[in-house]
């Protein structure tokens, strides 16, 4: 391929970031998926289990597997949702809060290093392009039912 496509650059970059986070998480006996889940749970009030999947962009079956593993490791506990008798809130345990802090520090470190090496203007352009791509996808402006090719 003479010219790198946009989707290739996005995919290759994300795979490198995921690999880096997984290597860092391994030092703490964890994975990037667990770290991301810890960061997605409200540390004070908990988070409804039904809200976690959409918040993380994850399928319910994958999330269920991660939550089961996290509960077995003592990172989370499930409690009835007082506002919805059928629902469950996911709460972090003290151990989960500690591991959440490790995850948060890893994300902060990544962002600090990137910001030290990429100008504010380039970062602003990166975020603008990302926002445009997401909007085009959300508005279904890339592939429509009438697309013929």
Between 106 and 2, the more confident residue is 106
pLDDT in tens, 41-72: 999 999 998 899 899 988 888 899 999 999 99
Which are the contacts of 126, defined by CB distance < 8 A and separation ≥ 6?
118
pLDDT in tens, 110-133: 999 999 999 999 999 999 999 999
DSSP symbol at 41: S
pLDDT at 1 over 80: no
pLDDT reported for residue 50: 87
Q: CB 91: neighbour CB atoms within 10 A?
A: 18
The per-residue pLDDT of the chain, averaged, comes to 93
Helix (H) or strand (E) holding 55: helix 49-56
In order of 7, 8, 107, 133, the CA distances from 118 in angstroms are 21, 21, 16, 21
pLDDT reported for residue 144: 82
Backbone φ and ψ of 91, nearest 5°: -115, 150
In order of 5, 86, 108, the CA distances from 2 in angstroms are 9, 55, 35
pLDDT at 148 over 70: no
pLDDT reported for residue 84: 82
């Amino acid at each position: 391929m003479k010219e790198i496509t946009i989707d290739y650059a996005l995919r290759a970059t994300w795979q490198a970031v995921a690999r880096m986070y997984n290597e860092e998480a391994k030092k703490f006996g964890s994975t990037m998926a667990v770290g991301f889940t810890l960061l997605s749970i409200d540390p004070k009030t908990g988070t409804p289990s039904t809200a976690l999947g959409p918040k993380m962009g994850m399928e319910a079956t994958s999330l269920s597997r991660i939550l089961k593993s996290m509960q077995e490791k003592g990172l989370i506990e499930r409690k009835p949702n007082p506002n919805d008798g059928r629902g469950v809130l996911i709460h972090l345990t003290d151990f989960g809060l500690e591991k959440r802090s490790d995850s948060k520090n890893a994300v902060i470190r990544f962002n600090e290093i990137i910001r030290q090496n990429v100008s504010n203007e380039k970062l602003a352009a990166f975020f603008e392009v990302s926002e445009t791509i997401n909007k085009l996808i959300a508005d279904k402006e890339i592939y429509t039912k009438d697309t013929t090719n």
